[in-house]
Structures are given as C-alpha cells and as structure tokens.
A and B are shown apart, each in its own frame.
Chain A
Amino acid sequence: MSYACRRCRPYLTAYIHNELTARARRRIDAHLDTCAQCAALYVRQRQTANELAAMRDIGAPAPERLNAIWRAVQAELSPTALHTSAQPAMMRHKPTRYSAVLVALFMVLTVPMLLNHAAAYAQIPDPPTPLLQNLWIDQQLTGERETAAYLFVAAADATHEPDRDAVEPRRGAGKTAVQTMAFQSNYAPTPGATDSP
C-alpha cells in the first residue's frame, strides 16, 4: 500500500457522506481516479453504507409500545409516586405489617429497661436508724431526762458509734441518771426500810 493510499483510505467513509472539506475532497477524487484498488474499495464501502442505511429501521417501536412506556413514565413521575418514593421501599409495599414490627421492636427494647429501672429504685436500702435513739430524742424533747439517759446509753451500746455532738451537751445529766439507775438497781429497798440512818 502506497503512502497516497494510506492517506486516502481512512477518509473514504467521510468522503461517502460528504463530510470532507473541498480541498480534502479534491485530493481523494484525484487519488481514486488513479488508484484502482482504492476505487474498488470505495465502491464496496459505498455499498456497505447503503446496507447500513437499513439500520434506521432496526428497533423502530410500535405506537402501542410507545404508549405503554409513556404510561410507565407518567406513573413514575406522578406526585403520589414521587411522594411515596421518598419512603423506604419496605414501607411502600406493606406499611401495616412493618409498622407493627416496629412497634413490637420498640416495646421489646424499652419495657425491660423501664422494669429494671423500677427494681433498682426499690432495692436502695434506707439508712439504719436505731429505734432506741429515736425514742431517746423523743424523751429529751418531753423533758424526761433520766429515762432518756438510760435509753441513750442503751442506744450507744447497740450502735457503738455515739453521736458526739448529740452527747456532749447532755453529759452531766447522763451521769446523774446512770448513778440513779445503779443505785436503784443494786440496793433494792427492803420492806419497811428508810433512806435515813
């Protein structure tokens, strides 16, 4: 293949379709007049181009098919379709079923949490308060010092942690009450005896 043939053949298709500039077209014309091989190739290529014109008939749709496609396009572009397409696909198909599943899932997750929270609140123990100490405070308030001092000692023995702030101001009164109580317990009065010698 000569240099002129190599410059001519790539442009044969464009030459057939009149897409070359006037100068390029004159150059191809001149070469086809002198080269029998390229001229034969041009004839066959033009024949192929005519056959390829049948490509315009390939796949031409029937009107009813075009109408069916248009209906499908309209259905996808309708406002309701646009509205529902914003939702998840599963909610579009079976909304009731999936809503029930969502509610059940919510309850499964939240109910045990609420129950556990209530149980924990109920299990917090109250701080221990000796009953006797409470009674001693009541006695202090009502002025019965001796009974209160006895009860205070008993409460201190029970807890082993007497409250210093509560004990200090009443220390003297407590001693007297204890002495009185000891006297009363060790020396029980005999019948007919008196305190004076």
Chain B
Amino acid sequence: MKTPMLEPTEVEALIARCLSGEQTGFAVLYDTFAPGVVRLCYSLLLNHHDAEDVAQETFVYAFKNLRRYDPRLSAFKTWLFTIAICRCRNMYRRSRPQSVDLSSLLQHELPAPRSETPEAAFARTSAKEALEKALLNLSPRLREAVVLRYGHGLTYREIADIMDCPPKTAESRVRLAHEALRGMLHPVGQGLLEELWNG
C-alpha cells in the first residue's frame, strides 16, 4: 500500500472531518499512518502477530480519543507513535518468552525489485535478518531509540517527545544503540581491533 504523505494542515483538516462525524476521514488517516505504525510495532516486538494486535489497539484508542489530540503539542504521527510505544511496552511487561515467528521464516514480506539480481536480493534479505537478530539483543529503550531514528527518520526532538525524555538523552540512546549494533553487525575481529586501537 502506497502511503501518501500529508501536510500537517491536511492532517488537521482530516481530524476535523472525523470529529464532525465523517467516516471517510478515519479511513484516510488509517491509510496514511497504518504502515508506519505496524512497522514500528514489528521493529520493537519482532513478532507479526503481536505487532498487528498492538497496531489495532493503537488505532482504536487514537480514534476513540481523537478529541484529546492537540496539534499545538505534537504532530499526529508523533502522538500515534507515543500510543504505539506505550502499548509495546505493555507487551514487554507481560514478559512472555520470546517465540519464533514462523511467518517471517516462511515468507518474505518485501518482494525483490525486478532489476535486483538474485545475489543482491539474497544479500539484502541476509542483512535484514541479521539486523533483526541484532535488534533483538538490544535493550528495549535503545531499540526504541534506534528504530525511531533509523527506521522512521525522526529527529531527536521527536524521539524525545515520544520516549518522554530530554533530547540529549534521546541522542545518547541512539548513539549507544548505534555502537552496540556496530559491534554486532561487524565481524568480531574488527571490533576487537577497534577496541585495541582506541586503547
């Protein structure tokens, strides 16, 4: 599904339509923001079933409480992401043992582009799987920060708003996560050499 990018004024107009009782406004809002929310939930939970449940809860809560949204405080996307991350944290707290998501093993969500060679497609899939494994080893706070930064391109100010922390904390979390991922994604020897070099 192609996600149309909306200007903040267009989003506000859509919200006004929803509040006036127009049902099509909800559908447009969903089409605009659902892919991002589902992707965020999956990046944090690394389980398709849980991610879809959390995304559904997020939109139900957001649409029921649309009157509470204040465009002066944050963008609608930031507000939605805040709700989604709170739901994801609730999911962590259930402390369910990590289960292997068979659907991710049996199917690839993204088909390779037509121009992509099989080798390139294999390398891309391998990189994605390696990245998922590395994310799984990060602490939840660092994972949230790096996913918001690299997965969704948010600024440190927006990350700080979503994670309810100062921008400097958000920045340092992104940096720590970046360094941790660098150690996990690169060969061990390279990391050791770097450590020795840094002294």
Q: How large is the interface on A (under 10, 10 to 19, 20 to 34, 35 or more residues)?
A: 20 to 34
B63 partner, pick from A44, A55, A73, beta carbons under 8 A: A73
Q: Is the CB of B39 within 8 A of A51?
A: no
Interface centre among A49, A52, A59, A73 (most CB of B within 10 A): A59
Asked whether any CB of chain B lies closer than 8 Å to the CB of A70, the reply is yes
B182 partner, pick from A10, A44, A57, beta carbons under 8 A: A44
Q: Which single residue of chain B is at the shortest CB-CB distance from A44?
A: B182
A61 partner, pick from B39, B132, B197, beta carbons under 8 A: B39
Asked whether any CB of chain B lies closer than 8 Å to the CB of A4, the reply is no
Asked whether any CB of chain B lies closer than 8 Å to the CB of A122, the reply is no
Asked whether any CB of chain B lies closer than 8 Å to the CB of A29, the reply is no
If A53-B150, A76-B60 touch, does A65 touch B30 (CB 8 Å cutoff)? Answer: no
Interface of B is mostly: helix
How far is A41 from B185 in the complex, measured between Cα atoms in Å?
15
How far is A48 from B130 in the complex, measured between Cα atoms in Å?
12
Bitwise interface map of B from 171 to 197 toward A, beta carbon under 8 Å scored 1, else 0: 110110010011001100010001001
Q: Is the CB of A45 within 8 A of B178?
A: yes
Q: How far is the CB of B175 from chain A (nearest CB, A)?
A: 5
Interface residues of chain B, those whose CB is within 8 Å of chain A, are: 1, 26-27, 30, 34-35, 38-43, 48, 51-52, 55-56, 59-60, 63-64, 109-110, 124, 127-128, 131-132, 135, 146-147, 150-152, 155-156, 171-172, 174-175, 178, 181-182, 185-186, 190, 194, 197-199
